[in-house]
Amino acid sequence: MIRVFSALSRVRFLKRISTRVRPIAANGALFVGAVACSLVFAELAARYLEPAPVKSSLEYRIRAGWASFRSLSTMTFENEDGVVVEISTDEFGMRNRPGSLKNAEVIVLGDSFVAADNTVENETLVGELRALGINAYNAGMDGAGNFQQANFLKQTIHHASNLKLVVAMVYLGNDLRDNWFGGPVDAPPWNGGLDKDEVAAGPTGLGCHRFALCRWLWRQAVPAKTSMPALANYAIGEMAFLRLKPDDAASLAVAHTNQALMNIRDAAAARGIGILVVGLPSKAQMMGSFREISGFDRSKENPVYARDLKRDGFAWERPDAIIREICRQLGVTYLSLLPAFREKPFPPPFYDFDSHWRAEGQRRAAAVIAPELFVLLGK
C-alpha cells in the first residue's frame, strides 16, 4: 500500500509540475517567436535602407607617393542611374588614351571628381575641355589629395613635352582633410594610410558582415569606442573647415595644403609652366545643408558636431576662402566654382545619393574653367 500511495503521489506531483510548466513553455515559445520575427523584420528593413553596393570592376595600383587605376586596362563602373561606364587607362593608369600625356598642353590634377568614374569619358570635365579645343590630360584619381597629385606631377611631367599649364582641382569638401592625413613629406601613404570612418563591414570573425542590421549596429557603436582623431570621421573632416576659428587639427591641415600646393607650383615652375588652382564646392556647400555632407547620417557624432558648429560660428564659404588665401600667398591664380554652382542649382549638378557630379556638373565646371584656360594659354 505504501508503495502504491508513493507512486500515486509522484504522479500527482508530476501532473502539477506539468500544469505549471506548460504555460511557461508556451509563453517562452511565443516570446522567442516574437523576438525572431522582430529581428527578421529589422534585418529586412536594414537591407532595404542600406545603400546598394556599387557594381565596379575598378582596380587600383599604389605607386611612389601616388595611386592610379591598373595601367593599359579597361574597367567598368555602374553609376547611380544604372549606366555602366567604361573606363580605359593609359600607361600611367590614368583615364586617357595611351600616349596622351606627351602631347597634352594642360594637365588636370584632381581626385574622383576629375577621374569621374560615373561619367562616360566624353562628358567628363576633361572630355568637355577637349571638345572645346583644349588638349587636356586627365590626371584625376579616386581618393587622391594634393600631396599625391604633386607626386604624380613631379614623376611624370618630363613626359609632357608640349605642356603649357597645370590645373590643380581642389575639392573643397575633403581635400583639406585628406592633406591633413598626408603631411608635409614627398611620398606620404595614399590618403594617409588610414581608413575613412566607413567601418561598413563589421567584425567579420563574428559573421556580422553578413547581416545588414549587424552592420548598422556596428557603425553606430564603432565611432564611440575608438580613439581615432576627429578628422578621421569623414563628415567631421568636412565640417571642421567650416568653423570660423579653426581648431589645431584644421590649422595643421591648412598648413599641409599650403605645402602640397607649393609642391605642385614648384614642380610646374621647374619646367617654366604656370598653374591654375580651381576650387570645387561640395554638394553641402552649394546647398547650405549639413545633411548633404557625405556620411553625415552614419554616426551620431555628426549632428552633435553640427549643432556645436552653429553655436560657435561657421560659414559654408570658409573652405573656399582658405584655398583662395593660400593661393594668394603662393602667388598663383585661383578660380572658384562655388558662385557658378550656387547661382544655378538646377538642373542638379550632383547625383541624389552619390556625392559626385552628374554630367551636368561636369559641363558646368568646364563652362567656367575653359574661358580662364583660353586666357592663360593665349588662345
Range of lowest pLDDT (22-31, 144-153, 228-237, 365-374): 22-31
pLDDT at 9: 60
- In the chain, the amino acid numbered 286 is M
| Rg of the chain on CA atoms, in Å | 28
Q: pLDDT digit string (tens) for 62-120?
A: 998 899 999 999 999 999 999 999 999 999 999 999 999 999 999 999 999 999 999 99
Q: CATH homologous superfamily for 60-377?
A: SGNH hydrolase (3.40.50.1110)
Q: CA 280, CA 14: separation in Å to the nearest integer?
A: 79
Residues 246, 252, 256, 262, Cα dihedral to 10°: 70
Q: CA 168, CA 171: separation in Å to the nearest integer?
A: 10
What sign for the dihedral angle of Cα 72, 78, 79, 83?
A: positive
What is the average pLDDT score of the chain?
84
Q: Which three cell numbers stand for residue 187?
A: 611620398
pLDDT at 196: 37
User: In this model, does residue 237 exceed pLDDT 50?
Assistant: yes
Most confident of 40-49, 52-61, 329-338: 329-338
Check: pTM over 0.85? Answer yes or no: no
User: Could you state, in order of their start, the residue ranges of all structural domains in the chain?
Assistant: 1-49, 60-377
Q: What value does the mean pLDDT take over residues 2-8?
A: 51
User: In this model, does residue 366 exceed pLDDT 90?
Assistant: yes
User: In this model, does residue 279 exceed pLDDT 80?
Assistant: yes
User: In this model, does residue 344 exceed pLDDT 50?
Assistant: yes
Q: Which of 122, 121, 108 is nearest to 74 (CA)?
A: 121
User: In this model, does residue 190 exceed pLDDT 80?
Assistant: no
pLDDT at 145: 92
User: In this model, does residue 238 exceed pLDDT 70?
Assistant: yes
CA distances from 257 to 28, 49, 225, 263, 351 (A): 61, 37, 30, 10, 28
> How confident is residue 202, by pLDDT bands cut at 50, 70 and 90?
very low
Q: Which three cell numbers stand for residue 13?
A: 506531483
Q: Which of 368, 342, 346 is nearest to 286 (CA)?
A: 342
Q: CA 117, CA 114: separation in Å to the nearest integer?
A: 9
